[in-house]
Amino acid sequence: MPGGSFRALRERSPVKTAKTKMQALNKPRPNIPGGEILDKNEVNVILFEGFDKADLKGATVIGGFPSIGLVSTIAANYLIDVLGLRHIGILDCRDFPALAVVHDSEPLAPVRVYAGKKCQKKKSAECVVVFVSEFQPAQQLMRPISDAVMDFVKQNGCDLMISPEGIVLEGALSEDEVVDVFAIGSTEKARGLLTEKGIKQFSNGIIAGISGLTLTRGKREGIDAISMLAEANPDFPDARGAAAIIETIANLIDLDIDVGPLYDEAERIEKQLMAVQAQAKPITERKTLQSGPQMYA
């Protein structure tokens, strides 16, 4: 090896290299209005200015991440509209799909946070928080998303986390048949609440995805979390399953809400969400080829 090259390699000592790397890691990040620079797979809840976090104490938090039949997304959007919930923040991550959801000519983030009172007419002091997304998270993002939502629940003193999901429906239901809803609680208190309200409990099986993660963390840390499973058609968005979920949530937390319009508008909602998913498919497929969470009984 030529002498000059050898000297150059020798002078680049491991100590200096390590020191340079540490200096780079400790270098202050530039301030960016509206949030921080996120590391890969890091998911943060970013609340907008002007929202009083004190209102979140004792809140019920509902996750509206896509599942079988999109029952959770449909239910979340319906609750947001009917309860008049306010857009208070977003979930942000560098690995989220590179897109904006446009609603009433307004661009929105792929994952959004809404909050408001359980009943505006009665001026209820109890708050409802809804996380909603139209896009299935990639497998590697499910744990960071679940952790971000559960951190939000824990840090803000929220009372209950509810994760709606769809389970595969074998065959089609007739118009007269009732959609079955089952639930699982992470704690004795949560399971006691289900028993008190007469909600069927899921006894044996596997709960995958974000719902499964919230249940296991809830059990580990004593956080009251409930996963609700509604029978749904896996081949298209199922508004009937979403209506059954909302009725069960209303029973659980004493929410005064009419799901009649949801049944009436099921076809319109289904077509709208199918169009959104069709537009997003080329983008999300580049991110992951993995399928969404499934429930096994």
Q: What is the distance between the alpha carbons of residues 193 and 185, in angstroms, rounded to a whole number?
A: 9
Report the CATH number that the domain containing residue 175 is assigned in CATH: 3.40.50.10900
Tell me the pLDDT band of 224, cut-offs 50, 70 and 90. very high
Average pLDDT score over residue span 87-116: 94
Most confident of 8-12, 24-28, 161-165, 177-181: 161-165
Tell me the pLDDT band of 114, cut-offs 50, 70 and 90. very high
Among 91, 93, 90, which Cα is nearest to 41's? 93
Angle (deg, nearest 10), helices 71-83 and 266-287: 120
pTM over cut 0.85: no
Residue 36 lies in a domain: no
Task: Please state the φ and ψ torsions of residue 243, each to the nearest 5 degrees.
Answer: -65, -40
Token pair recorded at residue 222: 């004593």
Q: Which pLDDT score, from 0 to 100, does residue 269 have?
A: 62
Residue 2 lies in a domain: no
Residue 208 lies in a domain: yes
Residue 225 lies in a domain: yes
The rounded mean pLDDT for the chain is 80
Residue 187 reports pLDDT greater than 90? yes
Residue 37 lies in a domain: no
Residue 38 lies in a domain: no
Average pLDDT score over residue span 193-203: 96
Tell me the pLDDT band of 25, cut-offs 50, 70 and 90. very low
Count of domains forming the chain: 1
Q: Which pLDDT score, from 0 to 100, does residue 167 have?
A: 86
* Between residues 122 and 196, the one the model is more confident about: 196
Task: For residue 158, give Cα distances in angstroms to 5, 162, 237, 268.
Answer: 62, 11, 30, 34
Percentage of the residues of the chain whose pLDDT score is greater than 90 = 50
**Which are the contacts of 116, defined by CB distance < 8 A and separation ≥ 6?**
83, 84, 85, 86, 127, 128
Give the H/E segment covering residue 229: strand 225-232
Give the H/E segment covering residue 63: strand 60-64
Q: Which pLDDT score, from 0 to 100, does residue 4 have?
A: 46
In tens, the pLDDT along 200-209 reads 999 998 999 9
Range of the domain at 158: 44-296
Residue 4 lies in a domain: no
> 44 burial class (0-12, 13-18, 19+ CB within 10 angstroms)?
middle
Q: Which pLDDT score, from 0 to 100, does residue 116 have?
A: 94
Q: What is the distance between the alpha carbons of residues 164 and 252, in angstroms, rounded to a whole number?
A: 13
Residue 195 lies in a domain: yes
In tens, the pLDDT along 241-290 reads 899 999 999 999 999 898 888 777 666 766 776 777 677 766 655 554 44
